[in-house]
Amino acid sequence: RKEVEQDPGPFNVPEGATVAFNCTYSNSASQSFFWYRQDCRKEPKLLMSVYSSGNEDGRFTAQLNRASQYISLLIRDSKLSDSATYLCVARGNTDKLIFGTGTRLQVFP
């Protein structure tokens, strides 16, 4: 079983839609969680960190459920520019980041 698992998608949604991605992690010792965004053939870039209480940044909301060991990302009012691959990342009590394989989002007009 992979340490961090994501639905690969693709998720095809129209502009303005709300879309949610889930990610599960297997290591209960994982301490920090992140969502990174990666455009095709480009480097990953941090979208947001995920805090225990949940956090929001504009149209993006991240939630962490430690009991069920999953992280979610909600995107409201999707834009064409949101089309990308979203990587779920967990950091354990070592200094290693474990990346999921990513969920691809395609927003169409």
Partner 1 sequence: EAQVTQNPRYLITVTGKKLTVTCSQNMNHEYMSWYRQDPGLGLRQIYYSMNVEVTDKGDVPEGYKVSRKEKRNFPLILESPSPNQTSLYFCASSRQDRVTYNEQFFGPGTRLTVL
**What is the torsion angle, in degrees rounded to the nearest 10, for the CA atoms of residue 38, residue 78, residue 33 and residue 53?**
170
> Binder to partner 1 among 78, 102, 103, 104 (CB under 8 A)?
102
Q: Decide whether 32 or 72 has the Cβ nearer to partner 1.
A: 32
Residue 2 to residue 13: CA distance in whole angstroms: 27
Within the chain, strands assigned E span 4-6, 11-14, 19-25, 32-38, 45-50, 55-57, 60-65, 70-75, 84-91, 97-99, 103-108
Which residue do the tokens 């990302």 mark? Answer: 73
Q: Is 97 in the site for partner 1 (CB under 8 A)?
A: yes
Q: Decide whether 11 or 35 has the Cβ nearer to partner 1.
A: 35
Q: Is 42 in the site for partner 1 (CB under 8 A)?
A: yes
Q: Is 73 in the site for partner 1 (CB under 8 A)?
A: no
Q: Decide whether 33 or 78 has the Cβ nearer to partner 1.
A: 33
Q: Is 100 in the site for partner 1 (CB under 8 A)?
A: yes
Q: Smallest gap, in angstroms, from Cβ of residue 14 to partner 1?
A: 27
- Tell me the two tokens of residue 50: 């995920």
Q: Which residues bind partner 1 (CB under 8 A)?
A: 32, 34, 41-46, 49, 87, 95-97, 99-102
